[in-house]
Structure 1
Amino acid sequence: MDMTVIKQVKQDLIGWKLGRVISVMDRGFSSEENLRILQQAGGHYIVGEKMRSGKAAVEEALNRRGRYQQVRENLHIKEIIVGDGEARQRYVLVYNPSEAERQRKEREKLLESLKEELEGLRQLPNEAHHKATCRLRSHPSYGKYLRQLKDGTLRIDKQAVREAEKYDGKYLIRTSDDTLSAEDVALGYKQLVDIEQAFRTLKSTLELRPMYHRLEDRIRAHVLLSWLALLLVRIVEIRTHESWPKVRDECERLMLGHFSSKNGDLYQRTELTAKQALFLAALGLEPPPKILGIHPRT
C-alpha cells in the first residue's frame, strides 16, 4: 500500500491533539516503512501479518508451541515474542473455531467440485484436454490445490490441502505497544475486522459499490457512507444485544402480501414475530402499518 496514505493520516491527526494514537491496520498496510512512520512521535500500531509471507519471524511465531487462551466466544489467543533487543517483535495468534469450521466446509465443497472437473477432463480429446488443463492450473481457487505429474496428468495436491488446513480460522497480529494486553490487541484488531465486514455489508446488502476509487471525492464519500453504515449496525447491535446478521435475518422474515381480486388490491404485512417486536421496541421504532394500501376497482 502507498505510504503516502499513512503519511497523510498522520498529518491529519496532528490537529486533533491526541495524547496517544494506536493505528490498527490490515495486512495491506503492514510494510516496514509504514510501520516506522506510524511509530514516529511515539505512535503505535496493531497490524495483521500475512501468514504465508515467508518471513522468518512470522514462521517462528506460527510454529511456536503453546496453549490458546479463550477470551471470548470463538476468540482464542496466544501471545508470542520473537527475537531480542531491537529485533524483538510481539505477536498475537488468534484462532476462531467457528471460522475454522466455515473455511473447512468451503474447502471441502471446492475440492468436491475440483474432483468433478478432473473427472470431466479425462473425457476430453487432445486439444480440448490441453486447454482445460491450462484453465484449471491457472484457476485462482482450483490451481493452488493441483499438482501436475510428469505425464501431464493433474492430481489434487494433498500436501497443499494439509498446508491450508493449518491456517483455518487463524490470523496473526503484530503490535508495537507492550502496554496492551494480548486480549486488548486481539479485540482491537477485531474492531477492524468488524469495520471490513461493514464494508462488505454495504457493498452486498445495500449494493453500494463505488466505480472509481482513484477520485478523491468518491473515496471520501465511500468512507463516509461506510462509516455511517457501521454506526447504524453498531447502534442496532448495542440496543438489541444481538449480532447484526441475526437482527437482519429475523427482520427479513417480515413480508408484504399483495392480495388481488375482482374488487381491488390489498397490501398487508405479515404478523410480527415476538423477536421482531422486541427488536423494533429496542430501537424505538414503530411497527409498519398492518395495512399499507387498499385500491378498489371501479
Structure 2
Amino acid sequence: MSYNSENGLSYRIDKERWNYERAIAGKFLLVTTTDLNSWDVMVAYKNLKDVERAFDELKNLLKLRPIFHRTDKRVKAHVFVCYLALLTKRLITEGSHSDKRLKELKSLKMHELNTDNKTVWMRNETTHTQQEILESLDLQKPPKISPETPM
C-alpha cells in the first residue's frame, strides 16, 4: 500500500510486515536451558524485575553502600539489617495507599533523654492514622518510655 502527499512525501506500508509486527507487539521470547515449563519460566523471568527492584532499593533508597566495616561478619550483619529494612518497607507499603502509610510512619520517632545520669528513650505521640496502620500490620506501638536502647 503506497501513499503520496501534496508536499512530495511518499511512503509505502509493507502489509505483511505490518501484520507480523502487530501480531508480536508486546510479546517476548524467552530461551532457557532449565526443565521448567513455559509458564514457570515466564513467572520466574517476571519475578526477576522484583528482585532487581529490591536490589536497587537496597543500594539507593536504603543506602546499602558504601559499607565501611572491616570484617566479613559486620558486612554480613549490615546487609542483613538492610534486607530486614527492605522487607519491613515492603510489608508497610503492601496494598493501597502504600506511599501514604510509609510517609505517615516516618514521623514515629524515639528520642534519647539524659537526666540525672540516667538515659531513657521516649517515643513521640502516635497519631490516630499511625495507630491504624500499626494495627493493620498486627503490630503494637512501641512503649512510650523505655529504659533500654531501642533496636
TM-score, length of structure 1 as denominator length:
0.28
Q: Which has the larger radius of gyration?
A: 2
TM-score, length of structure 2 as denominator length:
0.48
RCO higher in structure (CA 8 A, sep ≥6): 1
